[in-house]
Structure 1
Amino acid sequence: MLAGVTFLSETQAFGETSRDLSPDTWIETDVWRSLAQAERIEDFGRAWIGLLSRAHDSILRSALLLGAPERGPFELVARFPEAADGDSLPADVATVLDLASRRRRPAIEGGGELPARIAYPLLFGELLHGAILIEARPLDPAGIRQLIRHLQWSAAGVEAFLSRSATKQNSTSADVARFLIGVVDALAAAQGGVDAARLLSNLIARRLECDSTAVGRYHGKRSRLIALSQTAAIDRRSTLARALEAAQDEAIDQGSAVLVPPPATSSPLLTRAHQSLSKQFDGAHILTIPLVADNEAVGAITLRRGGRAFTQDEIVLVDAVGAAVGSLLDEKWRLDRSLPALAAERAGAVLGKLMGPRHLMLKLTTAVSIAAALYLAFGTSDYRVRAKAQVQGEIRRLVAAPFDGYIRAQFARAGDVVPEGFVLAELQDNDLVLERLRQISKKRQYQLELDKALAKRDLAETNIARAQIEQADAEIDLSDQMIARAQLKAPFAAVVVSGDLSQSVGKPVSRGDVVFEIAPLDRYRVTAVVPEAEIRLVTPGQSGELLLSALPDRTFPMVIGSVTRVAQASEGVNGFEAIGSVDSKDPSVRPGMEGVVKIEAGRRNVAWIWFHPLVDWLRIKIWALIP
């Protein structure tokens, strides 16, 4: 017992079997028929609560409350007797209802000698759908349990009606969904906007059994008739077309569906154009639904039907169709126009955004684009021709074998930096030394012969001996020079470009064979292979900058000295050699290093600098394609 309210458990409430109740003679056949065929919850509740209350003698008053499962609010659907005044519940009855709803069990107040107030919660599928309120005559506990059993059995009828309504509603929703999907698919497959509008008008007219259905497009602040059901051609100058367009304008201007004749509970709307259209067809029912895309009206659908008014479900269906196909029809209508019209509209839309108060990012992007275009069109900059380059020595000296011989030793190899006079390698000079000794011996012999001739005072022999001695001296000098040449020396401070005899000691060489190549350390030249498309821009005397792959942190100035006119291929690019000089005392620079050279070709327009390779390529391709 809580505040005079008793909560019964399921066992207490339904533990005993109630007595069989025979139908009273007052129950008529039409009441049961109304109960079985009721479509609205109000009609069902009125019949059901009457049968419930009259079937038990102790019930004085009763009420049926229903609402959204679990959420509520639970509102009064029907009461017995119907003549009771007011729609609100007494405070004490509301308290019992609240307790029963929270505890999800029957709640009872009173009993014994006092009238009993019972709140029976309607729990279907563990969800609270509402409650039954009963005020009965004073009853003993057994009578109360019997009354609750009666409520339990009767609640099954409410559950059956709700299940039937839910099943019917789901079936209707599924049918509407299939129709909407079919309409969207059909319109998406249509070739153009006019075909899609004609197909839509025919589908809706067939679905709702309308006499005619018209589809119009809203553009330029007015409607324009596009399609009429079961009609291939439309005369827009006819009275009917103008009346339809006026009705569609009327609905679009008000932003709402317009129905004529209007229902009694509808809000007041302007319907002059619809009434005029209805009079043309002897008071036919007219319904116009706006077509909306992106929260803006793009058209309207006008339906005409004689004899039977449009139901709320039909209005909802047409409104759903309009919401589903509005964007699709608008896109197809836009695509039906010519390219100049589309371009003009897009340009106008962009211009409107630029001149309007919003779209800051678009305005910034446009301003930057205009500034970039002006810079490309009128700006100038230094243009530099790029080319692959290689550092070479300005002088390249060959160190060759002075005579036939053999390699005795080597003291330098390719890449070594050597000072002036450094011995690069030596040839074997044993034969030269022996030959010198032989010449010295012969000179001594000639000297003895000269002494004998002087002693004899023989002038002829003396001259002969002196000549032989001079010949011997010459041969001895030659031998000395050949012995000195056996040492291959650097004529100046240089870097050894090529030559490695470390694996060739003892190898025979012939006179004139190149043994080393050397280049000076302080004078270089740069050979750049300029692409043939840019060679016309390169002339002797132009300056440039050289960046070496081995020294990417600094550049070296250079001057073009000459440009060869003989083409050569380098890395798949046909080009010409431009030879320039670079004055660098940097010891890091070595012949053979490669890099990139940029040759100053004067000031040019920025757009030309960026796009002239593409323009030249297009010129060649187009010229090649022209017959």
Structure 2
Amino acid sequence: MNAPALRTADPLSERLARLRARRRDAGWATDMLELGRELTMAEAGAVLARGTEGWSAIAPESDQAAPEAWAALADTAASGRGIAASAVGREGRWVFAASAGPAEGPGAPPRPAVLVLEVSSALPMDLVLTRERMAFLGALAEAGAVEAAMQARAPQALAAMAAEAMLRAPDRADGLHDAAALLLTAGLAGAERVALVLPRRRILGLSDQRQVDTGAELPRLLFALAEEAMDRGAPHLSLPGEAQTPSERALGEAFGPRTLLSVPSGRAVVVVTFPPGVTVAEDAGARLLPVAVLFGAVAEGPPRRRGPNRRLVVAGAAAAIIALLAVLPRAAVVEAPVVLRPERAQVVTAPFDGLLEASTVQPGDAVVARQTPIARLATREVELELAAARARAANDLRDASVARAGGQPAQEQISLLAARRAEAQVALLEHRLQLADIRAPADGVIIAGDLRRSLGQPLSRGQVLFEIALAGPLRAEALVLDEDSTRLREGQRLRFATAAEPGRTRDAVVERIRPMAEVVEGRNVFRVIARIEDAQDDDLRPGMEGWARIETGRTTWLMALLRDPIRWVRRRFWI
């Protein structure tokens, strides 16, 4: 049998928990006095608070001073000596007092509070129980006061923890991320993202992103939202479906409806997003306000010192740097992309029209002249044409024999000519059959052409199938812009680095400059061919790309830096 359903919570426990949670409310003293009288069956009682003129009752509220016996016991209990009790008046009448922690009033500092109850009982057991219950109520009030004080200081503690997390990080971006992540986990229940925004400095930290691209859509919308919050100047909670600002609507349209809490202060704004349907605590804005104040102060930073001679110092330093750049020599260079090509290469073309039947090599394979098969064309149609040509030749020879026997010399000559034409066709087709098996024409390495995925496709006579780099050194070909071509001369030094080894430079010498410009990627360029000095470098491969610098003379650092601007001005104004 199943266990019975759980009973509802004890009403007394719920009442005690509510009293502890409402420790900072204005009516807590009245509730505590009412509960104390119910637990002890007291005939009279009060919650006293000590002021400059002595003890006075705050529950029930009264302007009269507390009775002298009550005030004496309140002094004893407030001094930390436990529960104070004393018999008063007729026999069997007792007064008990227990410290209730500090009492706070509007606009006044905290002051000690004491619960005083007066009971009538001649039984020692009743007095013992009353004392225990007074001790319990005093401990409950003290715990509520401590908890209330901690809750009052929780926002400042949270701000200090976030600032400490930011300062521990190695840089500002990681620090803002760590602080936002701490606020998400320790500060707000149910939140999905916390953003620390410094809109004037265009700095942003997100709890769920360590690296933030400020140009992306989410940071851009958060900056706009923060600027609106700073203009508003007060915490603001925006719920989906309610009246929203333009930035809030844009954020909802881009990333879905969200509950948005923005807390501005100074130059910093804390923005928190909640999923739809999450209930946001009423004091959420107040809890985050110290965080915004602290980060706003950090954003302000120390004031910069400005003196009347600062501009002169900067101008003098700039003039000295320019003068130094104007006299320091350096090599004048022309920069251009470079590609490595073999000194000699040979292409392999299709010998006749046909279908590609097989391909056995790919770029990088070494081949041997007249031995390595590299491709094969389909010969079925050629074989059929060959058989038909042979049949035509045999028929024409037979016709010539018949004409000779019949004494028809003219017909005999016609048949003989037809037979010779058929025999020539046979010789051509037999030659094609021999050419169908394509072999490497020379020793080298395949550098272009991979037909393994083109099997069965038709080829045209003369179509380039492969490119073979023949044995020999490589050369560097640089594509120099038309505007730099007048500075080039044969014999100039060229230094280049490949993309595979950008940190290693190699030397070459310009051998020739193509006289005709080419159009490459929409720009007019001249092809400069250079001989690589280390021709035996095994790390170089045909087709490697990189960047080259050609030394064209001497210049200064200043002219090198101003070369492109001067060229633009001269081109723009024809000077």
In the superposition, the TM-score normalised over structure 2's length comes to 0.37
Q: TM-score, normalised by structure 1?
A: 0.34
